[in-house]
Amino acid sequence: MRATPGSLAVFHASGPDDLVSTFVGADDHVHLAATLSRPNALGNALARQFRGRRSLTVSTTAVHSSAHALTIAGAVRKVVTGFLGDTYPTPRPNPLYRALADGEPFEVEMWSLLTYTQRLMAAATGQPWATTGSRIAESDLSAARTEHVARVTHPDGTEVTLLSPLRPDWTLVHGACADRRGNVVLAAPVGEGAWAAYAARHGVLASVERVVDEHDAVLPPDHVMVPGHLVRGICEAPYGAHPQSLRSAGIGGVEGYLDDYHHLTEIVEACRTEEGRQAWFDRWVQVEGHEQYLEQLRVDGAPARIAPSAPPAAAATVGPGVVEPGPPSSASTQEQLTVLAARAVVALVEERGYDTLLAGIGTSHVAAWLARRMLQERGRRVAVAAELGFLDMDPVDGDVFLFSQRHASRSAMLGGVAEVLGGAVAANPRCLGVLSAAEIDRTGTINTSQLPDGRWITGSGGANDIASTTDCLVVAPASRRRYVDRVAHRTSPGDRVRDVVSQFGWFRRDDAGQDFTLTTWLAPPDAPPDLDPRGALRGLTTWPGDGARATAEKPVTSSELRILRSLDPEGHYR
């Protein structure tokens, strides 16, 4: 029987399925908290219990990896999110959401990452509205067409965008540990943080790696992010974030673990076909609770794959120079794109004085990492940030996943979405956003949401927030389907996009009303020998110009390739 909310007593469940069945009703709005350690064991329990009912409303910053279980189960009526697709080994669409624009497999309400978090913050602090500097109201994101977004004019004439609070019935969270009173430890980086815990109408349902007896250990108050009075039910669920990672900070005797890249890749491959995803669901989700899931992991060898969160010196899987790059002529077209983008970032940092690079996931983040290394070699320091809470990160060679816990251990500061997209980006005039695009048009407007034929791509993530508030450089391979006259879907505004880098050169402009001009040129490795700037512009873009002002880029160097291939030895972005 479903428990009645309101009691201060914390219910100690035997496991995730017991916790979910005790509290969650068929028509509830359930929020899956988006720290780096997502509540995947609880999400699987939701998928099992509500399979085929298509009744739940689910909010979460991003639907990827194990969250696909809820989609495959047919448990969800509506999703409120900022991203649907996959993030590893590279960001990409998932066939499950191909017909999302037609309402299949569920109704969706799309936000950007910061506006989504700001709505949770408004609910958590009892505010009737949140204000935002993100220009979601000017986008084609579905949230902009709802009653949750309003534009008002301040008495001083300023246009202000208001967002309604996001208040779920239940917030599901996975923590490193908790005490028996329900105080939950979350270790940074924390993504959306604890805002959804305070925003929930009925309270928090928490799984943790370990429930600590106060006689054995007292949880440090500076690491308790979800206070016990918000928690209605709790259970132990070892590896409850799997296949995502968990950083424990050594509290409560809990040992953290890294992302299971093998498992994440398996999910991506399984979702390619109906037969594959059903087989994956039956094997990993439609089991007899979390204990059987763990047993299946042991059979599959996962404990050997999930390395404990190691100290920085032991985290790297490869080191600089391990991969021999060969001569400069061996650079691929994708490698040339990344190197040219990194060179442009280096030049802009030196020219305009940027002190922070916001690395958007994709080729863009690898280019930002490469630029950071190149600037280091010149004796110049620039901080690289990532939207879920990484500030001044020093990426580990060999792990190309933007949100890896390995990079967390080598960051100067760990926070959350508000600190990064708010403080490090929106409030920092010296930040340069480095973004990717599925489409970009002559105005700089970016599409990462929907193709012209209606097929779903992924969504905004933090891109709209970044492009709304700071100067941006876009890294995108040129083709006539990508460099278009007008994007099919306006995900992110273009007036702060001043620079675009393709595989053959750097486009620049001084003002938002201008067209981009090709200013540098290097023939792509796969180009016909007679290709010139004019031919590249005509054949690979729909943009105007003849490339007459383009100056020659030097060929990609062995040094640049050595750094790039050390960062990405498996070639996910090459």
Parallel/antiparallel/unpaired status of strands 224-226 and 390-393: unpaired
Average pLDDT over residues 183-201: 96
pLDDT band at 301 (very low <50, low <70, confident <90, very high): confident
Distance of CA 380 to the CA centre of its chain: 28
Q: What is the mean pLDDT of residues 238-244?
A: 96
Range in 118-127, 213-222, 277-286 with the lowest mean pLDDT? 213-222
The dihedral formed by the CA atoms of 180, 182, 185 and 189, expressed in degrees to the nearest 10: 160
Identify the residue whose tokens are 């005509």.
538
Task: Write down all domains in the chain, each with its CATH number in brackets.
Answer: 11-126+166-299 (3.40.1080.10), 328-567 (3.40.1080.10)
Stretch 283-312: mean pLDDT, rounded? 80
Which residues have CB under 8 Å from 365's CB, separation 6+?
359, 386, 402, 434
Which pLDDT belongs to residue 390?
97
Using the predicted structure, report yes or no on whether residue 449 has a pLDDT greater than 50.
Answer: yes
The lowest-confidence range among 49-53, 111-115, 294-298 is 294-298
pLDDT at 219: 86
DSSP per residue over 185-229, as a string? E-PSP-TTTTHHHHH-SSEEEEEEEEEEPTTT-PPPTTTEEE-GG
What digits encode the pLDDT tens for the residues 530-552?
999 999 999 999 999 999 999 99
- Are 563 and 574 contacting, i.e. CB atoms less than 8 angstroms apart? no
* Identity of the amino acid at 349: V
Q: State the DSSP code for 533.
A: H
Give the count of alpha carbons within 13 A of 157, CB side only: 0
Query: Is there a contact between 84 and 94 (Cβ–Cβ < 8 Å)?
Result: yes
What is the per-residue pLDDT across 495-531, written as a single tens digit (0 to 9) for each? 999 999 999 999 999 999 899 999 999 999 999 999 9
126 Cβ neighbours under 8 A, 6+ residues apart = none
What confidence tier does 464 reach under pLDDT thresholds 50, 70, 90?
very high
Instruction: Kindly report whether the peptide bond that precedes residue 189 is cis, defined as omega within 30 degrees of 0.
Output: yes
CA atoms within 13 A on the CB side of 310: 11
Half-sphere exposure (CA, 13 Å, Cβ side) for 295?
7
Q: Report whether pLDDT(392) > 70.
A: yes
Using CA atoms, how far apart are residues 253 and 269, in angstroms rounded to an integer? 35
pLDDT digits (tens, 9 = 90+) for 327-365: 544 789 999 999 999 999 999 999 999 999 999 999 999
473-487 confidence digits (pLDDT tens): 999 999 999 999 999
* Angle of the 333-352 helix axis to the 558-567 helix axis, nearest 10: 100
E strand or H helix at 364, and its extent? helix 363-377
27 pLDDT tier (thresholds 50, 70, 90): very high
pLDDT at 217: 65
Exposed (0-12), middle (13-18) or buried (19+): which is 570, by Cβ within 10 Å? middle
pLDDT (0 to 100) of residue 216: 62
What value does the mean pLDDT take over residues 419-429? Answer: 97
Q: Residue 395 gets which letter from DSSP?
A: P
User: Is residue 373 over pLDDT 70?
Assistant: yes
pLDDT value, residue 322:
43
What distances in angstroms separate CA 119 from CA 33, 71, 195, 198, 483, one per listed residue? 14, 24, 9, 12, 33
Q: What is residue 257's predicted lDDT score, i.e. its pLDDT?
A: 94
Residue 90 · residue 573 · CB < 8 Å: yes
- Residue 220's pLDDT band (cuts 50, 70, 90): confident
| CA–CA distance, 78 with 56 (Å, rounded to integer) | 7
Strands 159-163 and 149-153: antiparallel
Question: What is the average pLDDT value for the chain, to the nearest integer?
Answer: 93
Model confidence at 306, in pLDDT bands (50, 70, 90)?
confident
Q: Is the dihedral of CA 480, 93, 195, 394 positive or negative?
A: negative
Instruction: Calculate mean pLDDT across residues 269-280.
Output: 98
Question: Which tokens in the block code for residue 63?
Answer: 């639907």
Distance between first and last Cα of the chain: 53
Question: How many residues in total does the chain contain?
Answer: 574
* Residue 8 in this model has a pLDDT that exceeds 90: no
Q: How far apart are CA 355 and CA 343, in angstroms?
A: 16
Q: What does the block give as tokens for 386?
A: 């990532």
pLDDT band at 302, cuts 50/70/90? confident
- What CA–CA distance (Å, rounded) separates 368 from 138? 28
pTM: 0.94
Q: How far is CA 203 from CA 21, 31, 228, in A?
A: 15, 11, 10
Q: Tell me the backbone φ, ψ of residue 28, rounded to 5 degrees.
A: -75, 160
- State how far the Cα of 103 lies from the Cα of 101, in Å rounded to an integer: 6
Do residues 357 and 385 touch, judged by C-beta distance below 8 A? yes
Residue 569's pLDDT is 95
Distance separating alpha carbons of residues 79 and 105, to the nearest angstrom: 10
Q: What local confidence, expressed as pLDDT, does residue 196 receive?
A: 98
**Best CA proximity match to 410, nearest among 371, 379, 383:** 383
Residue 54 structure tokens: 């298509």
